Amino acid sequence: MNANTERTAAWKLALLGVIVWVGATLMPQPAQAEYADVVINNYADAAGMRPVVFPHWYHRIRFRCKVCHADLGFKFKAGGNKITMAKIIDGKFCGACHNGEISWSVENCGMCHSGIPGTPTHIAGSTVQQLVAPAYKALKK
């Protein structure tokens, strides 16, 4: 190989590198879930509200599981408690705390209703969802 062809080859390679670099940086990155965040969307979408995102990590720093899952009666099932605003303002479920006394009050709609419209009820980062061959129908991220 003479110096000339080697030089063109080198430039081609450099160009290629730059193109791949630009391509790779412009690529959308995969979504990053915080483990155990629960998206609740039995009714929200249908009522024109954003789905609810419940952060487990944030609450378990302040309360033990027992408070919600034994005392307040939350069942261990995403979407399984059929929570509605009527129950919340009667002091049940989220309303046992989001009442302006233990935590901020219910008029802060956007704090709870913060999900991307159309996101189905699910728990983020769960083992079943991350299996390489999904045991259930995979959720679109």
Partner 1 sequence: MKNTIKKITLAASLVALPFIVSAADSQGGSLMMAATTAVSSAEITGSVPEKLSVSNANVFNRLLKKEKDPNAAPPDDGYHDPANDATTALQPPKVAYEGLPTTEFGNRVDWVKALDSGKLNPRYDRQDPDVEPFVMDLDIVRPVKASVPDVVFPHKPHTQWLHCSNCHPKIFVPQRLSNQINMSAIILGQKCGVCHGKVSFPPTTKSCKKCHSKEKPANWKPPLSEASVKNPWR
Binder of residue 24, out of partner 1, ligand HEC, none (CB less than 5 to 8 A by kind): partner 1
Give the CA count within 13 Å in the CB-facing half-sphere of 57: 8
Q: How far apart are CA 122 and CA 97, in angstroms?
A: 23
Answer yes or no: are the C-beta atoms of 92 and 12 closer than 8 Å.
Answer: no
Starting at the edge strand that comes first in sequence, how are the strands of the sheet with 52-54 ordered? 52-54, 38-40, 122-123
- Least distance to ligand HEC, CB of residue 93, Å: 5
Type and span of the H or E element at 123 = strand 122-123
- Least distance to ligand HEC, CB of residue 32, Å: 16
Binder of residue 57, out of ligand HEC, partner 1, none (CB less than 5 to 8 A by kind): partner 1
Q: Which residues bind ligand HEC (CB under 6 A)?
A: 38, 40-44, 47, 49, 52, 54-56, 58-60, 62-63, 65, 67-69, 72, 74, 76-81, 83-86, 88, 93-94, 96-98, 102-104, 106-109, 111-113, 123
